[in-house]
Amino acid sequence: MARRFGGKYSPRPGVPDQGFPGIAPDRLPETAPRHPLAGRPAWLVFAAFPFLLNAFGDGPLALARSLGAFATIGLAAFLMREGLKAEAAFAARKTARRPALPRKALGSILLGAGLAAGAQAPELGLIGAGVVAAVGAALGLIAFGLDPMRDKGMEGIDPFQQDRVAKVVAEGEKHLTALRAAIARIDDARLTARTEAFAASARGLFRAVEDDPGDLTAARRYMTVYLQGARDAGVKFADLWTSTQDARARAEFESLLDDLEANFTARTRTLLDSGREGLEIEIEVLRDRLARDGVISPPDKTF
């Protein structure tokens, strides 16, 4: 009987390919943090559709009230979705500031207001509408939770230095966004994945500097000058590839991405190693002081 032979890397029928062709699994771009409740706000908009169905046929006042209720609930769902995104990004970082705008709380308030407007009837009155609004807001808070109310990991960090880091990171993100947009015009999955992999390595450097703002001086050139150069090179390559399909230019651009990713990764590793070395020095100094005070036994330094 005939048998199918195949190895580890042989194609298997019925098994979908994962990732992008030509990209190793360990080079695939990392996905953005996603909140487990990210799909819930869409259900709020879906549940508000009856307000649209009841908007017509009862006069202009009922039309305005129903459309206003639907729009308010839609805005509430949008704010809650953005609040969940901000919370996921907050949870993914070791150090982070609380969101400046409590989006989920505002969304819950708007949800209550939308329900009160949509359920308004003469027999309810102001008290009844207030009860509906309060119940709607409470349900929104129960379903989506509160926004992060305190900064995380910010103890001992200079706020001025943290603001400087935030500005540099924002500038670097703009360069990455422009680079990704330029490569997206080419509509090439392999090159897009390659660019995303480089962007992930750059964001790794961003996170390292955010965790220790004192490393900004050592990494600033990477986060501004080098990323700006990568953006300019990406834009020029996209223009050239669109018009000429120059394979040599593509190879040179991919080589540039390889070099940039290697350098960004090496710089990130250097920053992490320097932080670990600083911790070891602090521990050694503390042990020596405790030994001098007689709290612990002197360390054995004989070799």
Q: What is the pLDDT of residues 72-117, one digit of tens each?
A: 999 999 999 999 988 887 777 766 677 888 999 999 999 999 888 8
The segments of the chain whose pLDDT lies below 50 read: 1, 4-30, 302-303
Domain that holds residue 55: 25-144
The secondary structure of residue 147, as a DSSP letter, is: P
From CA 266, how far away is CA 272, in angstroms rounded?
10
Q: Is the dihedral of CA 201, 203, 208, 212 positive or negative?
A: positive
Residues 130 and 167 in one domain: no
> 157 near 95, Cβ under 8 Å?
yes
Which residues have C-beta within 8 Å of that of residue 148, sequence separation ≥ 6? Answer: 86, 87, 90, 96, 98, 99
172 and 133 within one domain: no
Q: The tokens of 60 are what? A: 């202009």
Is position 151 within any domain? no
Q: Is residue 224 part of a domain?
A: yes
Overall pTM surpassing 0.75 (yes/no): no
CA distances from 139 to 82, 106, 143, 154, 270 (A): 18, 13, 6, 32, 48
Phi, psi for 152 (deg, rounded to 5) = -120, 125
**Residue 80 sits in the same domain as residue 203:** no
- Taking the C-alpha atoms of residue 179 and residue 175, their distance in angstroms, rounded to an integer, is 6
**Residue 129 corresponds to which amino acid?**
A
Q: Which residue has the tokens 């300019």?
A: 232
Rounded to 5 degrees, what are φ and ψ at 18? -115, 140
Between the CA of residue 253 and those of 95, 265, 269, what are the distances in Å? 34, 18, 24
Q: Note the pLDDT of residue 294.
A: 63
For the record, the structure tokens of 37 come out as: 């409740």
Cβ–Cβ contacts within 10 Å for residue 23, how many? 18
Closest Cα to residue 195, out of 75, 28, 56? 28
Structural domains counted in the chain: 2
Q: Could you tell me if 109 and 32 lie in one domain?
A: yes
The confidence score (pLDDT) of residue 11 equals 45
- Give me the amino acid identity at 1: M
pLDDT in tens, 276-290: 555 555 566 566 665
Domain closes at, from 94, 109, 144: 144
Q: Is residue 152 part of a domain?
A: no
What is the structure's pLDDT at 111? 92
Query: What pLDDT does residue 32 have?
Result: 57
- Do 135 and 215 lie in a common domain? no
Q: Are residues 279 and 198 in the same domain?
A: yes
* The domain boundary residue, chosen from 79, 110, 144: 144
Whether residue 167 is found in the same domain as residue 284: yes
Which residue has 């004192």 as its token pair? 214
- Alpha helices, DSSP H, located in the chain: 40-47, 49-53, 60-92, 103-118, 125-144, 159-184, 189-211, 216-221, 227-244, 247-292
